[in-house]
Amino acid sequence: MQADMSNDLRGWRLAALPCLAVLGIALPLTFASHCESYLYDFRAIDLLPLYATAWLILAAVVIPFWMLVTAGLLGLETLRRPPGPSIVAVIRTLLLTLTAVIILATLIHCLRTWLGTFGSALPLSADAAFALIVVISVFVAVTARGRSVLGAVRPLAVACTIVGVLSLISLPFFGWPHGGAATAAQSASADTAMPQHEGGGPAGPMQTSATIPATGPGRPNIVILSIDALSAQHMSLYGYSRPTTPKLAAFASGAVTFNRAYSNGNFTTPGIASILTGTLPWTHRALQLAVWPRARTRVNSLPAVLSRAGYTMGYVSTNAYAGASEQGFGQYFTFSRTDRLGHVTLCADGLSAYLRYVCAASELAPLEEMEGLVARFRPAVDNEEHDPRLATEPALHWLATVNRSKPVFLWVHLFPPHSPYAAPTPWLGEFDDSPQDRDVAETEPSWGWIQTQLSPEQVYTLEARYDEAMVFSDYYSGQFLQRALQLLGPNTAIVVTADHGESFSHGYGAHTGPGLYNEITHIPLILKLPNETTGRRCDDVVQQADIAPTLAALAGVPAPPTWPGRSLLDACAAGPADPAADRPIFTMNFEQNPRFAPLRTGSVAVIDGRWKLIHYMGRLHYPFMPALHDELYDVVADPDERHDLATQQPAVVQGLLHLINMELAQHGGRVIPGSPTPAPMPTPPVQSAAVQKPGDMSGGGVAAGAP
C-alpha cells in the first residue's frame, strides 16, 4: 500500500489526510504536552471532556474543509483534458505538503514544550523552524519515500481520530446545570454594529430623572458595574494627578466611596469569583485563568441567593472570564448578552454555556493557530473593538423592557481599560501625543517582570495609554449609570468596582503573577444606596468578598454562613473610619499551585490597619523574576509602596505572617469533593519567602494577554 500510495490517495482519502493530521496527530500530541499544565487546573477525570471539547471545535472546522476539497477533487478528476490533470496534481501535492507541515510543526511544538520544562530552548528561531518544516514537507510530498511515511502514519491518525469521536460521549455528563429560564431569544447577541460616538465634554452632576417610575417601598433593584483592570491608584476620584474619572467622581458625589478597598485576587477569574461567591480564592479555588469557583461556593453565591429570593436576574459580559456562564453561574440568570466585543474568540462566555471547557481547550496550539489565522483576516475597527456601549446599550434596553413586577438584579462587566490600552479618538493621545503605541497591536503590556526589558519611555507611554483608556471607559460608565438610575428609579442600589487593577511600577507590568502591589490590588468601590443623594468617604479597609453580604442585606436575604465578608451598610456610619471595624484583609495569587492541592506555591498579602505584608511561598517560576523576599509597607504613609520596611519592622512582619499562616492552616489544605470548604492544611505552611536567583526563566510564566 505504501509503495502505491500515489494511486491510493484519490478523492476523499487524499482530502482527509490534513484533517486526520489535525484530529489524529496534532491534537493528541499537543494535548499530551499540555496535560501537566491542565492537571494544575483540573482533576484527571476532567481531561476527557476537555479533550472532547477541543476535538469537537477542530472537527467543526476541518470536516467542512474535507468535504469541500473532496467535492472539488472528484469534480476535477472527471476532467480528462488539460488543465484538469495538472490542477489535480498540484492540489494533491499541496494537500500532502500541508499534511506533512501539520505533523512536523506539531513535533517541533512538542519538542519546544519538552525542552521548556528543563529551562532550555530549541536553538532555532520560529522563522527558521518554519522554513525547515516547509522544505521537508515538500520533499515528503514529491517523493515516494516521503509519501510512504505518510502512509505509515495514517492508521495511527485514524485510530486517534476514532478515540476523539468516542470522547464526545463524555460531554453531556460534564456540562453545566441549566436551571435558569434563559430563552434563545434572550441569550442571542444583539446587533454588534459599532455605535456612533457622541462628543465628549466636561462631567456634569449625576442626576436622576424627575419622572422616575415608582418601585414602591419593597426590596431595591440592584446593579453591579464591574470594570476590568480599573486601578484605584490611577483614578482621579482617588487623588490621581490625571483627570481620568470625572464621570465616576460625579456619580460618587451621591454615594459612599470606600478609600481602601482591595481585590481578593490579582486577575479576573479569582476577582470576579470573590465578588459573586462572597468567598476568598483559597475557598472558591478559582485560582487559574480558565477555571471556575467550586460547586459549593456557586450554590451559595450571590446570584443563587438573589435568584432564589425572587429577583429577575440579568448580566452582560465582555471578558469571557468575567462571564456568568464561564464562571458557572449561568443557570441563575434569565437574561444575558454575552461576549460584547467587536470580535469573538473561541474562549467565549456564550459558548461556555454549552461547552464548559472551551476556554481551557482554546489554550491548545492547534486552536491558538486557528484563532491567529482568523485574526489576520479580521478587519480593523479603529481601536473600537472594546467599545463600552456594546455592553451598556443592550443592558439599558433590557432595563427599559424587563417586567418590573419583581426587583431586578443586573451585572454589567466592561472591558476597558484592560489591555490593549489604545482608545479611539478623541481620547487617544490625551495624555501623550507621541506617535508611539497608538493601536491595539502596540498596546499590549509586558506582563510581570518582563516589563524590566522596556525603557522608562516605553513604560511611560503605555501608562498614558492606559489612563486614556480609563477616561474612555469612565465616559460611557457615567452615561450608563445615569440612565440606569432613570430607568430603575430611586429604590436602586448600585455598586461600582473592579476585578483587579494594573501595574506600571516596581518593574512589574499589568496584573496576574505573584505581584500584589497596590496598583493591582487597590480597587474602586462605590456604593450608592437606595434614595441616597449625599456623598461621603469611608476609610475602613474592605474587600471584594464584602460586596455579596452587603447586597444580600439590602435584599433582605440572610447571608450564607460560609461568606467571610461583612455587610458594609453601616460602614463608617459614625465617621470616616471605625476603629472597631479593623480586621485583616487578604489578597492572593496561587496560579502556579495545583488548584485542589494544599496551597504551598504562590503569594499572599495581608492588609491590617496601616500595614501591608506581601509574602511569597514555594518555588515560583516567572520570566525575568528577581530574587524575592517578603515586603512590608506602610500603605497609609506610603500608598505607592516605595519603601520596604521589612528589615526595620521585624515584629510587624512576624505578626502579619502569623495572620497569613493561621488562615492558610484553616483554608489552605486539599480540596475534598463534597466538602463545603477545603481541608485544613496538614502541615504548617512555608514560613519564609522562596528566594530564587534573578532571571529564573524555568517553568510557566505570566501568560501574555491574561485577563
b/e sequence 230-260, b meaning 16+ C-beta within 10 Å:
bbbbbbbbbebebebbbbbbbbbbbbbbbbb
The predicted model gives 74-94 an average pLDDT of: 78
Has residue 460 got a pLDDT over 80? yes
Neighbours of 664 (CB within 10 A): 24
Q: Looking at the structure, tell me whether residues 426 and 566 fall in a common domain.
A: yes
Q: Looking at the structure, tell me whether residues 42 and 167 fall in a common domain.
A: yes
Assess if residue 184 is contained within a domain: no
Assess if residue 334 is contained within a domain: yes
547 Cβ neighbours under 8 A, 6+ residues apart: 224, 275, 278, 302, 495, 497, 525, 565, 568
Helix (H), strand (E) at residue 96: helix 84-116
Find residue 525's DSSP bridge partners: 497
Q: Looking at the structure, tell me whether residues 455 and 552 fall in a common domain.
A: yes
Q: What is the DSSP string of 294-347?
A: -HHHHHTSHHHHHHHTT-EEEEE-SSGGG-TTTTT-GGG-SEEE---SSS--SS
For helices 47-77 and 365-376, give the axis angle rounded to 10 degrees: 60
Q: Looking at the structure, tell me whether residues 429 and 528 fall in a common domain.
A: yes
Task: Tell me the per-residue pLDDT of 618-634, one tens digit each, with 9 for 90 and over.
Answer: 999 999 999 999 999 99
State the pLDDT at residue 681.
76
Q: Report how far residue 27's alpha carbon sits from residue 367's, in angstroms, rounded to the nearest whole number.
A: 9
Task: Tell me the per-residue pLDDT of 339-355, one tens digit each, with 9 for 90 and over.
Answer: 988 777 889 999 999 99
Assess if residue 105 is contained within a domain: yes
Would you say 46 and 357 are in contact if contact means Cβ atoms under 8 Å apart? yes
Q: Looking at the structure, tell me whether residues 16 and 117 fall in a common domain.
A: yes
483 Cβ neighbours under 8 A, 6+ residues apart: 396
Assess if residue 649 is contained within a domain: no
By C-alpha distance, which of 416, 394, 378, 352 is closest to 192? Answer: 394
Task: State the chain's mean pLDDT as an integer.
Answer: 88
Q: Report how far residue 20's alpha carbon sits from residue 31's, in angstroms, rounded to the nearest whole number.
A: 15
Task: Tell me the per-residue pLDDT of 503-518, one tens digit each, with 9 for 90 and over.
Answer: 999 999 999 999 999 9
State the pLDDT at residue 83.
75
Q: Looking at the structure, tell me whether residues 152 and 225 fall in a common domain.
A: no
557 pLDDT tier (thresholds 50, 70, 90): very high
Q: From the centroid of its chain, how far is CA 395?
A: 21
How many domains are there within the chain? Answer: 2
State the pLDDT at residue 381.
66
State the pLDDT at residue 421.
97
Q: Looking at the structure, tell me whether residues 247 and 138 fall in a common domain.
A: no
State the pLDDT at residue 69.
87
Q: Say which range, 7-21, 56-70, 229-243, 380-394, has the weakest mean pLDDT.
A: 7-21
Domain boundary, last residue among 174, 203, 230:
174
Would you say 524 and 497 are in contact if contact means Cβ atoms under 8 Å apart? yes
CA distances, 303 to each of 308, 532, 618 (Å): 8, 24, 35
Assess if residue 206 is contained within a domain: no
* The model's pTM: 0.90
Q: Report how far residue 525's alpha carbon sits from residue 496's, in angstroms, rounded to the nearest whole number.
A: 6
701 pLDDT tier (thresholds 50, 70, 90): very low
The predicted model gives 436-465 an average pLDDT of: 94
205 pLDDT tier (thresholds 50, 70, 90): very low
Task: Tell me the per-residue pLDDT of 231-276, one tens digit each, with 9 for 90 and over.
Answer: 999 999 999 999 999 999 999 999 999 999 999 999 999 999 999 9
Rg of the chain taking only CA atoms, in angstroms: 27
Assess if residue 354 is contained within a domain: no
23 Cβ neighbours under 8 A, 6+ residues apart: 55, 58, 59, 62, 157, 160, 161, 164
| CB-side neighbour CA atoms (13 Å) of 323 | 26
Q: Say which range, 5-14, 75-84, 95-104, 118-127, has the weakest mean pLDDT.
A: 5-14
CA distances, 514 to each of 181, 447, 601, 604 (Å): 40, 11, 10, 8
**Of the ranges 178-187, 290-299, 679-688, the best mean pLDDT one:** 290-299
The predicted model gives 648-669 an average pLDDT of: 96
367 Cβ neighbours under 8 A, 6+ residues apart: 54, 57, 58, 346, 361
Cell of 511: 496584573
By C-alpha distance, which of 565, 561, 598 is closest to 584? Answer: 565
Q: Which residue segment(s) compose the domain that 477 sits in?
A: 220-342+381-574
Number of H helices, E strands in the chain: 21, 13
The predicted model gives 386-402 an average pLDDT of: 96
598 Cβ neighbours under 8 A, 6+ residues apart: 668, 669, 670, 681, 682
By C-alpha distance, which of 604, 605, 608, 656 is closest to 636? Answer: 608
Has residue 702 got a pLDDT over 90? no
Q: What is the DSSP string of 374-416?
A: HHHTSPP-TT-TT-THHHHHHHHHHHHHS-TTS-EEEEEEE-T
Domain boundary, last residue among 558, 574, 590:
574
Q: Say which range, 335-349, 535-549, 665-679, has the weakest mean pLDDT.
A: 665-679
Q: Looking at the structure, tell me whether residues 240 and 170 fall in a common domain.
A: no
Assess if residue 680 is contained within a domain: no
376 Cβ neighbours under 8 A, 6+ residues apart: none
Amino acid identity for residue 249 in this structure:
A
Domain boundary, last residue among 526, 541, 574:
574
Task: Tell me the per-residue pLDDT of 406-429, one tens digit each, with 9 for 90 and over.
Answer: 999 999 999 999 999 999 999 999
Q: Looking at the structure, tell me whether residues 260 and 149 fall in a common domain.
A: no
Q: Looking at the structure, tell me whether residues 138 and 231 fall in a common domain.
A: no
State the pLDDT at residue 374.
81
Beta-strand relationship, 408-414 and 492-498: unpaired
Amino acid identity for residue 484 in this structure:
A
CATH number for position 320: 3.40.720.10
Instruction: Report the side by side order of strands in the sheet with 631-634.
Output: 585-589, 602-608, 611-617, 631-634
Would you say 399 and 484 are in contact if contact means Cβ atoms under 8 Å apart? yes
Has residue 112 got a pLDDT over 50? yes
Cell of 145: 519515500
The predicted model gives 397-408 an average pLDDT of: 96
For helices 456-488 and 389-401, give the axis angle rounded to 10 degrees: 10
Has residue 703 got a pLDDT over 80? no
Q: Say which range, 96-105, 196-205, 461-470, has the weakest mean pLDDT.
A: 196-205
Q: Looking at the structure, tell me whether residues 50 and 138 fall in a common domain.
A: yes
For helices 11-21 and 84-116, give the axis angle rounded to 10 degrees: 20
Q: Looking at the structure, tell me whether residues 419 and 502 fall in a common domain.
A: yes
Assess if residue 674 is contained within a domain: no
| Extended beta strands in 89-191, E state | none
